[in-house]
A and B are shown apart, each in its own frame.
Chain A
Amino acid sequence: MLSRVADSLYWMARNIERAETNARVLSVQLIHMLEVSEQHVSNRDWEEIIEISASLSDYYSGHDGIEREEVIHYLTQDRQNFNSISNCMIYARENAKATRDMIPDGLWEVLNQYYLEHTGESRFSSYQQAQHALQLTMQTSTTAQGIVESSMTRGVPYAFLKIGKWLERAEKTARILNVLCEKTLKEKQAANVSNYYYWLTALQQVNGYNAYIKEYPPTMKPEHVLSFIIDNRGFPRSIRYCIDHVMEAIHHLEDGKISHYSQQLFHTLATVQEEFTAAHIDDMSTEELMAFLDRFQNRCQEMSRLFSETYYLIDPVKIK
């Protein structure tokens, strides 16, 4: 497969995944806003959402303060924000366009339809409208993944799509937890009630509440939530699950052999797996956990770079 095409596939998957998670994070926040009357949603809550889904410093370089409608626009439709949902979906479609001869027609059509119907909209005029658009984004992403799973041959293009998705997911999950840790640290003295709410939010953001409740009914202990989201080998959004599957996909790609050119990539992946096995998430203090997550996010960047180098990936499709 052409390196350029492989790169586009990889980034298409990342962009779809990013759009979906960003949509879910905002959707959870909008529901939360309804539940706790508006005055109690602080600016800091919004800053955290921005930090998870984009970059807070980028946001402040163009805005003076936090204003609800403005933040929603920034995260969903603003073309100035590289990570806005619209941008992610537009990039995903461009990547799909560059790889149309490799992917199922249905996958292209789903992304094209989203583009035609939802990326040119004017600002949302109501809460319902915004919520509806977010649901639609998540639906588009799951439909796209369904098409990939049900119709793509388990070959090289499939592997690149999956690796992109898992790396994106692992990194994002780490980011969500990092923001959350920072928050609990700042509010050490706060009552357990609000902590309960934080952990619930984290589970919702990674779409894991229902799965968690089945495994740990009906408690919400931080150590349980953390080990579930970080280390659970069966939960498809846990960091552990994602890394295991990246490893598996690359093994498959290489027919189980480690060659000279892929040596470093395998080595780094194995190191990350070992770090997870050695770490005792349950016993870590918040500070230790944050350091652990920080290190992991750096590892993600390293894996992404090594992956690109190993397969000669070149610049993703330039957006004009």
Chain B
Amino acid sequence: MLYFNSFLFCGFICLIGELILDNSKLTTGHITSLFVVIGAFLDTFGIYDFIIKKVGGGSLIPITSFGHSLIHGALAKTNSMGIIGIFMGMFDLTATGITAAIIFSFLFALIFKPKN
């Protein structure tokens, strides 16, 4: 069941992105930024956690989950640290993604030659 939900949810998010891209003048940069903000908004009142429980892996792949993890780590830290926890915990959960992207893109840029 999780497989089916993953397929539907991730496909649905990409479908919305493609529809916005085709029917307006927004670029992919606009759309990804918009989706991150939407993800952060959905997690404000715990909706995205509910989606993750129902959908599984398919909800961790779209860029909306990036916004979700940012705010989720920040709010988790406020439990122990108070309001300064928002600043301390912001990158707690997304650190792996950002670090991996920086390391791999730097290494591959050094190793491979650009095609054009």
Do A and B come from the same complex? no
Chain B residues near A (Cβ < 8 Å): none
Chain A residues near B (Cβ < 8 Å): none
